[in-house]
C-alpha cells in the first residue's frame, strides 16, 4: 500500500458523516441550481410577473447599479466564516493551511501585500470557497484584504454571484486585478483555470503552467511578492474519465467551457471524496528587473522559470509528510 493510499484509507469517514456531507455539498449546489430553475420556469410560465418583478430588477441591479465584483467585492465575513454548511464541508475535507516562516514574517510588516498563485485547480476548486473563512487564521493582518479572482460568468448567475462575492471573489479581468492591487489588497489566482481543470487526472499531480505567465508578469509590473501555493488533496476529490476528451478539450479551448467527467462520493458530481486537504503557502518571491514595473520578455521568462522551480520545491518539501511521497509534480 502506498503512502497516498494509506492516507486516503485512514481519512475515511463513517457512513453518518458521509451522509451529512453529501447533504451539505449537494444542498449548496442545489440552492443555486434550484433558484435558477425556478426563475427560468417562472419566466416562461408567468413572464409578466416573474420577468417584471424578479428577473428584470435582479439583472438591472447586478449589471447596472451594483458592479462590486469590478471593484473591491463585497465580502461578508460572518457568512464566509460561520455559514453552517461551509463549516460542515470544511470539517469533511479537513482543510488545513500551512504558511512558510518567511511569509509569516512578511505578512506582519506594514502594508504587506501578496499575489497567491494556487495550484492545482482540480476537477472542482471546492477548497477555494471554503478556505476563505479560515484565511485569517494564518494571515491575521492581511486576511481581511485578500480577494480571489473568479470567472466573469459566475457573477451573472443568481445565488452563485452572491456566494462568490460573499466569500471574497472579484472579477478575474486584468483591469480589476490591477485596480485591487493598487488599493492595497492581496489576491488569489488559479492560473491553470479551465485548461488545468479539464486535464485533471485522479491521483496525479498535474498543473498547467508552462504557458501561463500572465500572473508572473502582473506581480513584476506591480512590484507585489508572488507566493507559490499548493493544494494537497485537490487532485483526489473526484474519479476522472478520459471519455470524449477531444471534443471536451475543443469546447474548452474555443468557448472556455469546461465539462469535466468526474464522480465523487457515491458517484455524485457535486460531492468530493473525503480527502484531507492541506494548502501550503511557500516563500514570497520577488524578481529582478532593469526597469522597475516594466519587465522584458527575457526577464519574464527567467521569473517564470524561477516560480516553476519554487513551486516544485514546495511540493517536494511537503509531499512526504502529507502522504504524497509516491507522486511527482507534472508541469504541462
Give yes or no for residue 169 having a pLDDT over 50: yes
Which pLDDT band, with edges at 50, 70 and 90, does 284 fall under?
very high
Four-residue CA torsion sign, 303, 309, 311, 317 = negative
Give yes or no for residue 131 having a pLDDT over 70: yes
C-alpha 62/C-alpha 83 separation (Å) is: 23
CATH number at residue 12: 3.40.1130
Indicate the pairing of strand 262-263 with strand 169-171. Answer: unpaired
C-alpha 107/C-alpha 85 separation (Å) is: 30
Q: Per mean pLDDT, which range of 58-67, 128-137, 209-218 is the poorest? A: 58-67
In the chain the first and final C-alpha atoms are separated, in Å, by: 28
Joined grid coordinates for residue 150: 473568479
Q: What is the arrangement of strands in the sheet containing 278-281, beginning at the earlier edge strand?
A: 96-99, 278-281, 226-232, 115-119, 186-189, 146-150, 169-171
Give yes or no for residue 65 having a pLDDT over 90: no
Domain count of the fold of the chain: 1
pLDDT, mean over the chain: 91
The predicted pLDDT at position 125 comes to: 87
Residue 221: left if φ>0, alpha if ψ -120 to 50, beta else—which one? alpha
Of the two residues 227 and 253, the one the predictor is more confident about is: 227
Q: Note down the domain range covering 182.
A: 3-331
The predicted pLDDT at position 9 comes to: 45
User: pLDDT per residue over 212-250, tens digit each?
Assistant: 999 999 999 999 999 999 999 999 999 999 999 999 999
Which pLDDT band, with edges at 50, 70 and 90, does 49 fall under?
confident
DSSP 46: S
Contact between residue 147 and residue 169 where contact means Cβ atoms under 8 Å apart: yes
Give yes or no for residue 285 having a pLDDT over 60: yes
> What does pTM read for this prediction?
0.91
Contact between residue 208 and residue 253 where contact means Cβ atoms under 8 Å apart: no
Q: Give the other-Cβ count within 10 Å of 43's Cβ.
A: 15
Amino acid at each position: 500500500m502506498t503512502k497516498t493510499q494509506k492516507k486516503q484509507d485512514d481519512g475515511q469517514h463513517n457512513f453518518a458523516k458521509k451522509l451529512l456531507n453529501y447533504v451539505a455539498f449537494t444542498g449548496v449546489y442545489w440552492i443555486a441550481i434550484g433558484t435558477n430553475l425556478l426563475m427560468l420556469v417562472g419566466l416562461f410560465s408567468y413572464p409578466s410577473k416573474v420577468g417584471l418583478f424578479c428577473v428584470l430588477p435582479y439583472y438591472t441591479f447586478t449589471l447596472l447599479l451594483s458592479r462590486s465584483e469590478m471593484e473591491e467585492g463585497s465580502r461578508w465575513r460572518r457568512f464566509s466564516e460561520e455559514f453552517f454548511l461551509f463549516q460542515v464541508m470544511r470539517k469533511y475535507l479537513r482543510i488545513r493551511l500551512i504558511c512558510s516562516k518567511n511569509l509569516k514574517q512578511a505578512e506582519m510588516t506594514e502594508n504587506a501585500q501578496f499575489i497567491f498563485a494556487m495550484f492545482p485547480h482540480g476537477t472542482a476548486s471546492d477548497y477555494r470557497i471554503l478556505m476563505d473563512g479560515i484565511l485569517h487564521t494564518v494571515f491575521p493582518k492581511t486576511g481581511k484584504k485578500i480577494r480571489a479572482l473568479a470567472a466573469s460568468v459566475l457573477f451573472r448567475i443568481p445565488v452563485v454571484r452572491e456566494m462568490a462575492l460573499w466569500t471574497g471573489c472579484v472579477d478575474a479581468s486584468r483591469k480589476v486585478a490591477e485596480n485591487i492591487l493598487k488599493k492595497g489588497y492581496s489576491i488569489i489566482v488559479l492560473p491553470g483555470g479551465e485548461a488545468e481543470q479539464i486535464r485533471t487526472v485522479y491521483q496525479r499531480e498535474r498543473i498547467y503552467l508552462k504557458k501561463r505567465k500572465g500572473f508572473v508578469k502582473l506581480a513584476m509590473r506591480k512590484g507585489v511578492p508572488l507566493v507559490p501555493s499548493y493544494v494537497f488533496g485537490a487532485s483526489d476529490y473526484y474519479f476522472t474519465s478520459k471519455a470524449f476528451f477531444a471534443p471536451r478539450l475543443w469546447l474548452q479551448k474555443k468557448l472556455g467551457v469546461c465539462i469535466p467527467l468526474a464522480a465523487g462520493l457515491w458517484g455524485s458530481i457535486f460531492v468530493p471524496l473525503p480527502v484531507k486537504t492541506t494548502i501550503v503557502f511557500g516563500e514570497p518571491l520577488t524578481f529582478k528587473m532593469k526597469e522597475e514595473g516594466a519587465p522584458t520578455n527575457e526577464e519574464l521568462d527567467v521569473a517564470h522559470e524561477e516560480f516553476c522551480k519554487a513551486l516544485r520545491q514546495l511540493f517536494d518539501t511537503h509531499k512526504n509528510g502529507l502522504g504524497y511521497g509516491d507522486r511527482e509534480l507534472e508541469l504541462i
